[in-house]
Amino acid sequence: MIDLHIHTNYSDGTDTVEELLKKAEKINLQYISITDHDNCNAYKELEEIEKIFSGKIIPGIEIKCSYLQRTIEVLGYKIDTNVMNQLMQEFYKNKSRESLQQKYFNLLYDNCLKMGVTLTPKKDFIWNPKNDWASLTIYNDLKKYKDNQNKVPEDMWESFSNFSKKYCANKNHILFIDKSNDYPSLDEAIKMIKKAGGLVFLPHIFIYKWVENKKQFIEEILKNYQIDGIECYYNSFSKEDTNYLLNLCEKNKLYKSGGSDYHGLNKENIELGIGYGNLKIPDYIVEEWSK
């Protein structure tokens, strides 16, 4: 069993590196990759702590990038983590994560009020823009007030994924925030991963709810960008989704990966290695490209 999409408290996960490794060892994962957002700081810590995990660790990162005026993600594997960190620090030298998240918090907060929902007064909000995500913070606060259920669309209330991927990413919705100038473009993100000696994978490609024709969306990216592989196994994918992506990889001679997108307590229903409980990622797919 493997899990190549994992987050620690160096981005928006809640587990420390040590806690994560102990969990991976306990459930006997054979391969893991820590893919924190926009940084490889977990790998610095790995150099300093004693060996806890007996399986193999593939250096990784998840980069948020802009594409068609929206944000998507790419995964980088087998990267030189020191080079990758330098590249990310260079890109964000004049726009810190803290300043970006604070900007998004203020915009999203005001837009939510325009929808008529109730939120905790700004002066009483306790959150950390260095580590927390503005959208998740506001969504969790929105859910605290039960009267808001009658003020928002039913599917927005049901899940953070719908809130962020469907409504906040919808250009025609009041919650939309244009972040395209704040993140590297898809092309820039790919070039950074390549410069760090890595392989570029498309993760959780079916979760972007603003995409009407998802298969066409995927194939256009594959046609126009240098992609090495696709995350074929993911916690919310159906068997049909996975089979389509596996066949697409075979057709285009692409590598395959899979992961739970584990975030610890920030996504309480998702367990390391097994996602919602039925995720089974075969070892052989990573053995094709990890050596």
Model confidence at 179: pLDDT above 90: no
Using the CB atoms, write b or e for 70-108: b if 16+ within 10 Å. bbbbbbbbbbbbeebbebbeebbeeeebeebbebbbebb
Q: What is the pTM of this model?
A: 0.86
107 pLDDT tier (thresholds 50, 70, 90): very high
Model confidence at 130: pLDDT above 90: no
Q: What is the mean pLDDT of residues 258-263?
A: 97
Distance CA 5, CA 264 (A): 12
The pairing of strands 70-77 and 60-67 is: antiparallel
Average pLDDT, the chain: 94
What pLDDT shows up at residue 268? Answer: 81
Quote the tokens at residue 213. 């024709």
Q: pLDDT tens, 17-66?
A: 999 999 999 999 999 999 999 999 999 999 888 889 999 999 999 999 99
Model confidence at 143: pLDDT above 80: yes
Quote the tokens at residue 264. 């610890």
* Integer-rounded Cα radius of gyration of the chain: 19
78 pLDDT tier (thresholds 50, 70, 90): very high
Model confidence at 131: pLDDT above 90: no
Domains defined for the chain, CATH in brackets: 2-95+182-287 (3.20.20.140), 97-167 (no CATH)
212 pLDDT tier (thresholds 50, 70, 90): confident
The share of the chain scoring above pLDDT 70, in percent, equals: 100
